[in-house]
Amino acid sequence: MLIVMSAEATAEQVEAVCAHITRLGFEPRPIPGGQRTAIGIVGNPGALEPGPFVELPGVLRAIPVSSPFKLVSREWQAADTVVRLPNGVAIGGGNVAVIGGPCSVETEAQVMAAAEAVARAGGGALRGGAWKPRTSPYAFQGNGEAALKLLRQAGEAFGLSTVTEAIDHESALQVAQYADVIQIGARNMQNFALLRLVAGLGRPVVLKRGMAATIDEWLLAGEYLLAGGCRDVILCERGIRSFDPRTRNVLDLAAIAVARALTHLPIIADPSHGTGVRDMVIPMGRAAIAAGADGLIVEVHPRPQEALSDAHQQLRPGQFVELMTAVRTIAGAIGRTVQAAG
């Protein structure tokens, strides 16, 4: 429920409505606007009747929030959320940024070379996995804390903010200590305990869409983060599972347009995991920007053929340059600004 106060409502009337909501056992969230104040209600388990709220002095309207989510919704906040990374790069609200880097941080030389390639080509942030959620328990699982240290070193060397995945409680605490942005992977999108924990760690979060998650489930996972106190959430479409093995997943570009209408949160796309095929990454990255994505997260490796994970989809540095050139052209054509580090 969203309570819209009349333009003439006094501060006392706003306070009285908030106190009434608190007495009902719910939480009032006042949103002061240029013309009038709106008050969101959170913590109510089900739909509320608008009637009794409209009776309160100073209330203009009580709008039942039709969607199952609240804090992530456009009804709650009309203006785009812009997430600003520590290096000054902005994502959302017309600002497009590309996060590039290896699937996993393997060696110092590898991550430094990847970071240099990303920074030189105009990328905005560095990605690199430290804990890898692999399908097989025998596959490379990531270098853990040692990888976090190397990622931070490479980010600092090239002015790139860093993004890396947390897979559980312990890794989340370490990621928050070393990295600028915490990534929640597709497989953990509905790990609600992890979402609750990560929401309180004071870092922006990239929330990947689960490979079989509906758009509403994805937004509700975002709702967990916002309800837990994290404002800087970046949604990431990374492909959903379908029937054709020619691509690993189907990068759902319509989901970007759908989510854009429903939520104020920035939305980026991951054409690397979305396709699983190196030659598909540039065309689908271009398409995602054209579809209105606020950025991309892309795997880049100095020597992809030697990669310990996702060797088939990581871009070579020269291909990343090609992608960035296309991103600048397409973003410019639709009135967006590409954010580079430094």
Residues forming the site for ligand PEP (CB under 6 A): 103, 129, 133, 165, 185-187, 208, 238, 270, 273
Tokens representing 93 are 């609200």
Scanning 115-123, 168-176, 280-288, 304-312 for contacts with Mn ion by CB under 5 A, the matching segment is 304-312
Q: In this chain, which of 99, 103, 125, 255 binds Mn ion, going by CB under 5 A?
A: 103
The residues near 281 (Cβ < 8 Å, ≥ 6 apart) are: 271, 272, 275, 298, 299, 313, 315, 319, 323
Scanning 76-84, 96-104, 108-116, 228-236 for contacts with Mn ion by CB under 5 A, the matching segment is 96-104
Q: Does 207 bind Mn ion (CB under 5 A)?
A: no
Q: Which does 123 bind (CB under 5 to 8 A by kind): ligand PEP, Mn ion, none?
A: none
CB of residue 251 to ligand PEP, shortest distance in Å: 11
Rank residues 80 and 310 by Cβ distance to ligand PEP and give the closer one.
310
CB of residue 332 to ligand PEP, shortest distance in Å: 27
Rank residues 40 and 128 by Cβ distance to ligand PEP and give the closer one.
128
Rank residues 186 and 308 by Cβ distance to ligand PEP and give the closer one.
186
CA distances, 23 to each of 70, 102, 103 (Å)? 21, 51, 50
Give 268's strand partners.
236
- Long-range contact pairs involving 241-249 (C-beta distance under 8 Å, separation at least 24): 241/211, 241/212, 247/274, 247/275, 247/276, 247/277, 247/280, 248/273, 248/274, 248/275, 248/276, 248/277, 248/313, 249/211, 249/273, 249/274, 249/275, 249/276
Residue at shortest CB range from ligand PEP: 185
CB of residue 181 to Mn ion, shortest distance in Å: 16
| Torsion sign over Cα 102, 293, 226, 49 | negative
CB of residue 305 to Mn ion, shortest distance in Å: 15
Q: Which residues bind Mn ion (CB under 5 A)?
A: 103, 310
